[in-house]
Amino acid sequence: MITSRRWRLPGGPNGTERLAARAWAAAGAEPAWLAVLVHGYGEHIGRYEHVAERLCAGGAAVYGLDHRGHGGSSGERVLVEDFAGVVEDVHRVVVQARTAYRSLPLVVVGHSMGGLIAARYAQEHRADLAGLVLSGPVLGRWGAVDRLLALDPIPDEPIDPATLSRDPGVGAAYAADDLVWHGPFRRPTLRAFAAELARVTAGGDLGDLPLLWLHGADDRLVPLTDTRVGIEALAGTDVTVRVFPGARHEVFNETNRDEVLDEVVRFARRCAGADR
């Protein structure tokens, strides 16, 4: 059985916000590794319940939080003026996880915008990580940012649920989720995306830190060709690439999600030395 708990974590600018945090663990079992999930733009960590449960079944204790301005956390909706602060918030939840699991190998798993955040976190805290997993990450360049910044006003173009998965239930649940942001991008957030993309590209590679890059071949939201530019700058000496034919943006929610999550567990257990 997988147990979970929720709490409020101080975060945001100067610790003035309250971040909705969650943790999952398999009851009665000692975990072999620690995972921190980093969610994408406009969504919340609750959409990763099945991911957390699969990682727990694979031997992990799992932590995550809703970013400032997202989900159940406080802050103006989807407003990010500098991703450096969001990276700091992720470190806050890592510190919390370390109070319970001081010595477990840590694997950070980031999706989409969360992949950008996780990549920067890995650049800043490489020595503390055993591995990094990036799913459909916004890296290198993202054509949507430049296109929207060139428009005034920014059009009200919410993310099309059909771009998320071939499973129609995923898009329907996303559209009906009140904790998901269904409005337009904020201009300061788009500027922050552009700045953070440049920061990560210039931030150097990961050396010998193992990296697993997962992407859907039919990802129309974060195109594979855009991300490849960033991966080439980020990847060090240990990189595994899995591109899933026909899959769309949310590979953790795709019709072959079991295959994808099995890949994550195999990679993480290898990084953590859990199969020795």
As a whole number of angstroms, the distance between CA 119 and CA 124 comes to 9
Active-site residue, selected from the candidate residues 39, 44, 112, 135: 112
Cβ pair 129, 90 in contact under 8 A: no
| 3-class secondary structure, 53 | helix
Q: Check if the beta carbon of residue 134 is closer than 8 Å to that of residue 118.
A: yes
219 is catalytic: yes
Could you tell me where the DSSP H helices lie in the chain?
49-57, 83-100, 113-124, 143-149, 168-176, 187-202, 224-234, 257-272
| Tokens representing residue 274 in the block | 């859990």
CA 13 – CA 1 distance, rounded (Å): 37
**151 secondary structure, DSSP code:** S
**Radius of gyration (C-alpha) of the chain in whole angstroms:** 17
**Residue 70 among the catalytic residues:** no
Q: Of 66, 89, 219, 226, which residue is the catalytic one?
A: 219
Q: What tokens appear for 249 in the block?
A: 């943006």
| Residue 249 annotated to the active site | yes
Supply angle C-alpha 262, 263, 265, rounded to 5: 65
217 burial type by CB count under 10 A (0-12 exposed, 13-18 middle, 19+ buried): exposed
Candidates 44, 70, 215, 249; catalytic one: 249
* Active-site residue list: 112, 219, 249
